[in-house]
Amino acid sequence: MPTWLIFALTAAVLFGSSQVLMKKGLSNISPLWNNIIGNILALLWIPAALWLNQGKINWPSLPILSLLIIAASFYCAYPYALNKGKVALTGTVIAICPLFTITMARLFLKESINSQQIVGAVIILISIVLVGLPKKNLDKSFRDLSWLKWGLGYAFLGGTADFLVKISANQIGAYSNILILTLIYQATSPINYWLDKSGRTLPKFSAKKFAPTLAGIIVLLAGSFIFLTSFDYGPVSLISPVTGSYPVVTVLLATTFLKEKLNAKQLTGIIGVILGIILVGMG
């Protein structure tokens, strides 16, 4: 199994787990403070990146630095999008980020993937939708389409950010990329605070209320570190759709721990994701 595929699958497991935890935490903590806490905890990436890269840092050129600043700004929109509507709906729409990443990577990076891998990536994207859509009451969810607008909006922003970060990783390497991105995140916090006036109220500390947020952020950061590291080992046009299969993890967690039953649509989607990953990995 290719190294990039192992990393992408690991990231998918962590992303699927973090999304459930973060969504629960957002009922008590605003997206603004979610970002601020996450940016502070992301500082843990720096010693890890330095250690794995043997203390070496490749500093980006001004154009590459500009791309990373744009990418970091786009990533900050994630908790805002996740906070809109049910996680099964918004999270599933967000998971089509790879559609934008693949398109950009094929057009601008000229990444070479064969026909089998293209078929696999398409199967994964279609199957993600089958897995993530709710079992019932879909008609009620479509009465208010704010979740769809936010989901599609972040799918574009997140997919674009992944593409921009891949460009940077190609130039300075994954670990230097992670380190610089972490520093940029710290600068986005005051800007985020300035822009989001309604979310500034400091949440009252409660271990019970903060636990899901902290757990979700830590798991998300671990998944993001692995995802960003994978850029050194494979094309983003393949890594992105495999990592985007995380709604399968969300559904399986609900089945295992919440004793929810899989319906035929979800089971078909899970089988499709597995088939797509096999096709992508064997290509």
pLDDT tens track for 224-268: 999 999 999 998 888 988 888 887 777 777 667 656 676 777 778
* pLDDT for the residue 140: 54
Mean pLDDT rounded to a whole number for the chain: 85
Q: Region 138-146: what's the mean pLDDT?
A: 56
* pLDDT for the residue 128: 72
Q: With bands split at pLDDT 50, 70 and 90, how would you rate the model's confidence at 176?
A: very high
Number of domains, the chain? 1
Q: Region 88-92: what's the mean pLDDT?
A: 68
* pLDDT for the residue 259: 63
Q: Region 140-149: what's the mean pLDDT?
A: 63
In terms of residue numbers, what domain contains 16? 3-282
* pLDDT for the residue 134: 60
* pLDDT for the residue 257: 64
Q: Which residue has the higher pLDDT, 55 or 112?
A: 55
**Cβ burial 214-226 (10 Å sphere, 16+ → b, else e):** bbbbbbbbbbbbb
φ, ψ of residue 32 to 5 degrees: the values are -60, -50
The answer, yes or no, to whether residue 142 has pLDDT greater than 60, is no
Q: Kindly report the pTM of this predicted structure.
A: 0.85
DSSP for 189-232?
HHHHHHH-STT-SPPPP-HHHHHHHHHHHHHHHHHHHHHHHGGG
Q: Region 80-95: what's the mean pLDDT?
A: 75
Q: Region 86-104: what's the mean pLDDT?
A: 76
Residue 255 CA to chain centroid, in angstroms? 22
Q: How far apart are CA 236 and CA 108, in angstroms?
A: 12
